[in-house]
Copies of this chain bind each other. A is one copy, B any other.
Amino acid sequence: MTPAENAQLALLLEVAGTPKPGNVDRRRDLDDLRFEHFLAGAVGSGEGLRMAADGVSVGAAFERAVEGMSQQEGGNTQFGCLLLLVPLVKAAAESDGDLTPDESDEGLTPDAVTRVVESTTVADAADFYRSFEHVDVAVGEPPTDASELDVRRGADAIPALESRELTLYDVMELSADRDGNAREWTSGFGRTFAAADAICDDDGPVPDRAARAFLDLLAEEPDTLVATQHGDEVAAAVSEWADDARGDEAAAERLAEALVAEGVNPGTTADITAAALFVALERGLRV
């Protein structure tokens, strides 16, 4: 499979894995966000993912992917997943040697994806802000000194980006302290690659491996979307509960029921799980 196909498959395998407490999965829907919205989101993301593999800039490919993802009635399904997948797809395609035959063909590595994200421009940042106009994304308040950069302003924030000469990487640095996806961008996708290794080393059907990787990631670090929506204490408590549920299927199912009932959605952890599935597929994991 091509990098773009592996990314689309990663989106589908992520949502198929169950139980993934608090998230839509093969066995659970939320009230207005159902399994089929994720299927349609994965299909619609395809064109943007192929653009990333074909050498289009991260921002333009991401905006196209988000636009396509949004062609379903559930709202935001995979915005965060795509924020991780687009640079990973670009790095994977480049390391295949098709686009940069002069670089050593080292495969998809933390260094390769870091080169991609560090090369982003102010234009990529502008495309990122435009992406928020396609779909409602749950985000926290911007820093007090950065309200003009609030992503909820969409394209209206672009003049501020341009006057400050902020690249997309710079934007991610500004929110790395409170957004787990931004932190992946600025730390060599460390949790993504570690989870990919765990998925490759695990046994059994891939969606089951994805569910276990999700629970491990959630236990290891509080989910930043949960922290944004419910506060740091809830996020910490969810991670403790996830830790207790590791290796205990019945406990994981109870946690899934409880989080869905409470409307607690560890979405950032699901994003990193999807990114890890992509890296695992690129490293030869077969479905």
Mark A residues whose CB is within 8 Å of B: 1, 5, 8-9, 12-13, 16, 26-27, 34-37, 39-40, 42-44, 46, 68, 71-73, 205-207, 286-287
Contacts and interface: CB of A to CB of B under 8 A. Distances in A.
Tell me what chain A mostly uses at the interface: helix, strand, loop, or mixed. Answer: helix
A269 to B, nearest CB: 20
B206 A36 contact: yes
A42 to B, nearest CB: 8
Given A1-B71, A44-B5, A71-B1, A287 B13 contact: no
Contact of A286 (B12, B27, B72, B286): B72
Copies in the assembly, this chain: 2
Contacts of A207: 35-36
B286 A9 contact: no
A16 B36 contact: yes
A272 B72 CA distance: 23
A59 B204 CA distance: 36
Given A26-B26, A286-B72, A46 B206 contact: no
Contacts of A205: 34, 36
A68 B4 CA distance: 13
Contact of A12 (B5, B43, B287): B43
